[in-house]
């Protein structure tokens, strides 16, 4: 198979598109899923945007573990990167992003012009690209910043059209097409976390296997195990067995029963995965700064 077909072909297209967009801009706003800031990061972005000013947005923070998100903010700030936790439905968060772009733009502008002795009278315009892997919330953020439904929610890679700029807050020009990055599917662990948070389709793995991996991941942390226990009214003994059996009990509590009283395990898995990714089990983060450094 030619390396330019299939998934690889899409990756090359996405990479070329983002390279073209990066030429035009001053600041990259990299959108990550707050629940998995490492697994939702594309490893290429560091290289592609190495001489751009960057802001990291930890989006969907309404679904993430607040304590872990504060660790992540510190993690990025300690490395000199501006990092915001965002729930894109909250207009204050959108204001925070605009403010951060202005501050960052000012820095870029001063840096660029520090050699020049004469002050330039024209107010500079900061050009911004919102980038990230699919489903992290890029289009939602662009729409909210633009204040209208201009970006295409759920747009597809490879479909090129004329790029347009959206003028925001006097001196920000936002590219209306997000920079689409490819998720890191080489790392199986990252793939599992991307599926558990709904950033990629859960069908990459067998749903029952994925649900079991999810239960195992939650049970590493006592706090998350307790959330699971409370959500499905589980007994302590329900955790003394392999996760497939725990899933069966969850299925029973969720009413995933077929005739004869047996548990429909596929249905149980789908119910559990839906509860997990939509935050119904609680605020859960799957990437922790201390075990990823
Ligand atoms: N809970 C939550 N959901 C969000 C947030 N931002 C976006 N979403 C949802 O995530 C899904 C993907 O958003 P979209 O903007 O299309 O992502 P894109 O593929 O990166 O452009 C949509 O269902 C959004 O409603 C957020 O801050 N919190
Ligand atoms: Mg989109």
Contact between 280 and 268 (Cβ < 8 Å): no
**What is the per-residue pLDDT for 292?**
47
Domain assignment of residue 265, given as a range: 201-277
**What is the per-residue pLDDT for 152?**
47
What is the pTM for the complete model shown? 0.91
Q: How far is the CA of 152 from the centre of ligand 2 (A)?
A: 6
Task: Give the CATH number for residue 94.
Answer: 3.40.50.300
CB atoms within 10 A of CB 217: 18
Pair (156, 18) in one structural domain = yes
**What is the per-residue pLDDT for 277?**
96
Please state, in angstroms and rounded to a whole number, the distance separating the CA atoms of residues 131 and 193: 20
Give the three-class secondary structure for 29: strand
- With a 6 A CB cut-off, is 137 part of the ligand 1 pocket? yes
What ligand 1 atom has the least distance to the C-alpha of 88? 27
User: Nearest bound ligand to CA 40?
Assistant: 1
| DSSP assignment string, 133-165 | STTSSHHHHHHHHHTSS-S-TTPPTT------E
Mean pLDDT of successive 10-residue segments in the chain (293 residues)?
Answer: 60 86 94 97 88 96 98 96 97 97 92 72 87 96 80 48 83 93 89 95 86 97 97 96 97 92 96 97 94 47
Q: How far is the CA of 69 from the centre of ligand 1 (A)?
A: 18
Q: How far is the CA of 139 from the centre of ligand 2 (A)?
A: 4
Q: Residues with Cβ < 8 Å from 83, sequence gap 6 or more?
A: 55, 56, 57, 58, 72, 73, 76, 77
- With a 6 A CB cut-off, is 238 part of the ligand 1 pocket? no
User: Nearest bound ligand to CA 35?
Assistant: 1
Q: How far is the CA of 132 from the centre of ligand 2 (A)?
A: 9
Please state, in angstroms and rounded to a whole number, the distance separating the CA atoms of residues 64 and 74: 16
Reported for 155-158, long-range contacts at CB under 8 A and 24+ positions apart, including other chains, are 157/10, 157/13, 157/14, 157/17, 158/10, 158/13, 158/14
Task: Give the CATH number for residue 215.
Answer: 1.10.1580.10
Pair (115, 216) in one structural domain = no
Residue 1 lies in a domain: no
Residue 29 lies in a domain: yes
């Amino acid at each position: 198979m030619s390396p330019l077909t299939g998934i690889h072909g899409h990756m090359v297209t996405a990479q070329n598109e983002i390279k073209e967009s990066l030429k035009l801009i001053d600041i990259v706003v990299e959108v990550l899923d707050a629940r998995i800031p490492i697994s939702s990061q594309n490893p290429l972005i560091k290289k592609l945007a190495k001489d751009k000013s960057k802001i990291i947005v930890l989006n969907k923070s309404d679904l993430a573990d607040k304590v872990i998100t504060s660790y992540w903010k510190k993690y990025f700030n300690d490395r000199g990167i501006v990092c915001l936790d965002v729930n894109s439905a909250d207009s204050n968060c959108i204001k925070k992003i605009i403010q951060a772009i202005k501050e960052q733009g000012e820095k870029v502008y001063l840096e660029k012009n520090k050699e020049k002795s004469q002050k330039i009278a024209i107010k500079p315009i900061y050009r911004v690209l919102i980038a990230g892997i699919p489903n992290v919330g890029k289009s939602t953020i662009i729409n909210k910043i633009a204040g209208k439904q201009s970006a295409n929610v759920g747009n597809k890679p490879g479909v090129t059209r004329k790029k347009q700029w959206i003028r925001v807050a006097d001196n920000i020009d936002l590219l209306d097409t997000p920079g689409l990055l490819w998720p890191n599917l080489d790392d199986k662990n990252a793939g599992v976390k991307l599926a558990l948070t709904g950033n990629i389709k859960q069908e990459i793995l067998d749903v029952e296997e994925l649900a079991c991996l999810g239960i195992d991941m939650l049970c590493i942390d006592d706090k998350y195990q307790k959330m699971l226990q409370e959500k499905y009214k589980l007994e302590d003994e329900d955790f003394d067995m392999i996760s497939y059996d725990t899933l069966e009990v969850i299925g029973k509590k969720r009413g995933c029963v077929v005739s004869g009283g047996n548990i429909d395990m596929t249905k149980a898995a789908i119910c559990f995965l839906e509860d997990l990714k939509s935050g119904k089990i609680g605020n859960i983060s799957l990437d922790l700064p201390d075990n990823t450094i």
